[in-house]
Amino acid sequence: MDPVSHLLRMARVMANLDRHCLLGGSTKMAVPQRQRLEAQFHVLLEGECQLLMAGAVLEMKPGDFVLIPSGSPHRIITPGQGTMHTTTEVAGDSFITSHSSDGGSPVIDLFCGHYAFDSGAGAVLFRSLPDPVHVALGASPDSDRTLRMLSTLMRDEAQYTGTGTAAILSALSTVLLAMVLRATGGSATEALWTAASDPRIARTIESVLKDPGADWPIERLAREAAMSRATFLRHFTHETGMTVGVFVTRSRVMAAAELLASSDATIATIAGQVGYQSESAFTRAFRSEIGQTPARFRRDQRHHAGRTTLPGKPFVP
Q: What average pLDDT values come out for the chain (317 residues) when binned by 10 residues?
A: 91 95 97 96 95 93 93 96 93 93 94 96 96 82 75 86 89 93 67 90 96 96 96 95 96 97 96 97 97 96 64 40
CATH code, domain with 148: 2.60.120.10
Report pLDDT digits (tens) over 18-40.
999 999 999 999 999 999 999 99
Is residue 312 one of the residues assigned to a domain? no
CA-CA distance, 195 to 18, in Å (whole number)? 27
CB proximity list for 211: less than 8 A, separation 6 or greater: none
CB proximity list for 89: less than 8 A, separation 6 or greater: 96, 97, 98, 315, 317
Is residue 51 one of the residues assigned to a domain? yes
Q: What is the pLDDT of residue 317?
A: 37
CB 98 within 8 A of CB 29: yes
Residue type, 160: Y
Residue 113 and residue 61 share a domain: yes
Residue 289 and residue 223 share a domain: yes
Is residue 218 one of the residues assigned to a domain? yes
Residue 125 and residue 206 share a domain: no
What residues make up the domain containing 286? Answer: 196-303
CA-CA distance, 259 to 219, in Å (whole number)? 28
Strand partners, 90: 97
Q: Which helix (H) or strand (E) holds 234?
A: helix 229-240
CA-CA distance, 94 to 164, in Å (whole number)? 9
- The number of helix segments (H) and strand segments (E) in the chain equals 11, 11
Is residue 73 one of the residues assigned to a domain? yes
Residue 93 and residue 174 share a domain: yes
Residue 124 and residue 54 share a domain: yes
CA-CA distance, 201 to 168, in Å (whole number)? 35
CB proximity list for 156: less than 8 A, separation 6 or greater: none
CA-CA distance, 211 to 153, in Å (whole number)? 37
Residue 211 and residue 245 share a domain: yes
Is residue 176 one of the residues assigned to a domain? yes
Residue 203 and residue 120 share a domain: no
Residue 93 and residue 17 share a domain: yes
Strand, helix or coil at 24? coil
Residue 239 and residue 138 share a domain: no
CA-CA distance, 177 to 4, in Å (whole number)? 10
- Around Cβ 91, how many Cβ atoms within 10 Å? 8
Residue 22 and residue 138 share a domain: yes
Q: What is the pLDDT of residue 192?
A: 87
As a whole number of Å, the CA-based R_g of the chain is: 21
CA-CA distance, 204 to 123, in Å (whole number)? 22
Identify the domain boundary among 133, 167, 187. 187
Total count of domains within the chain = 2
User: Over the range 195-218, which residues count as b (16 or more CB within 10 Å of their CB) and which as e?
Assistant: bbbbebbbebbebbbeebbeebeb
Is residue 310 one of the residues assigned to a domain? no
Residue 218 and residue 264 share a domain: yes
Is residue 234 one of the residues assigned to a domain? yes
Which of 77, 67, 113, 65 shows the shortest CA–CA distance to 317? Answer: 77
Is residue 79 one of the residues assigned to a domain? yes
Backbone angles phi, psi at 111, to 5 degrees: -100, 135
Identify the domain boundary among 135, 169, 187. 187
Identify the domain boundary among 157, 187, 217. 187
Q: DSSP string covering 137-166, please?
A: TTSSHHHHHHHHHHHHHHHHHHHH--TTHH
Residue 115 and residue 260 share a domain: no
